[in-house]
Structure 1
């Protein structure tokens, strides 16, 4: 992916923040501009007095704007460039109260904006997007921070691989923040089935190597796989699908690795019962570095009773 597209992605996240600021602060800003324009224009037209107290012409647009500017922020430089006339002083009284009210109203709106959930989410998204697109090494996107997603994150961390986590449940993300990793992974609280969320998570980054859809919803996993295949065909996809129909449908896009957890676990369980030594060898070969050898076990031979006859 060209560097220009990466910069556009960063700028897009910041644009959302500025859009919220401008939308929320549009009226306060217009109110302040209107107050300054009226106060400056009126002060520039009111006649003044000279040093001897005689009538003099108005102070002019520049001097009026200068006086209104420091009056609206400090109120403390006195009457410059010379003593004011009574009319000018009356106008300055109105200017003082108008600018104070305008700035107070604007500050209240700024504080309210900082406390809005939408603005906080936009800020977190902008910071997260900037952090993700600053990664200069291969990384993976893990969608879903459940039990499986947690194990995958620890596995990637043990292999010294960077990863980004997308999870809609804030409680799961809170638990993930308490986990110990070599590097703190970027965490995104959003619905990964939305293409914009995957894009902000670094899907179109040249350093993204794969996406793992591990949520409990087959439709969301399928949406993640489809979005990845359309936006970043070069990125590998691993999707957990329980529904065989969805598994067949998702294979149309090619290159996707679809894992049916029921089928995979059933095969491993059957292998552990019928060929325990082969199962132990397999677990040893695919284990992570530093893990201990699996304990040998000898399941009882003979007939078994299966309780339950559902899909699993």
Structure 2
């Protein structure tokens, strides 16, 4: 599960401009001090750090899932082996930490460190889920936040903090990233059932074949309780995959997942509309782009 590579950078750079209501002077860098003197440069560094953490998480995720494809291309672990793939991910994380430390902002360092903690927590939740928890939408959404939305939400908040905004504005930035990330992942859940293997990262039906229960199946189980027994048995038997898909097709699981994604996308758009007013043309354009992005997340097909 992930937000598509590159989108984070666009969101963060747009957020940086969207929040350009008041840009304070950063203190000048001293001898040996690597703190960027330009606010935009430091915010761009957050975008770079976010991408490094994101790619590292994908490399590790592919090893854990034993995936041989990533967006239709051979995964690194399939080409170079698990050990090198893990080391590559570790290297990216280490470079992200070095770059993060150079910003010399304790609050931002704490936020991004929390992201890494959330990524590990989310993966652990997915790997060690007890039966009762697997049937909980609340548990699933928490796992989804940890694995997908934490990175973009905390990075958006970091952009606001670096610009010296109030706690209220920083929280609005956080909420935008959180809801955008959740909407994105919910649509990813849908596409795993409705998309094609050529357009999806690990191929259609990847999640269910790995025993990962996502929103469409959770909603289907609410309508057809007998699906619980199939989920409990697991999906190593292809027949169980077919049975689950049969129940899903009869249910409103796909539609309800789309509706939940729309709810979070609309919440993200409302956050942007709640930001302090500005008559700056660049700020207005960036905010509109962030709002437009919430709808594009809903209509994408890959």
**TM-score, length-normalised on structure 2?**
0.24
- Larger relative contact order (C-alpha < 8 A, sep ≥ 6)? 2
Q: Which has the higher strand share?
A: 1
Q: Which has the higher helix share?
A: 2
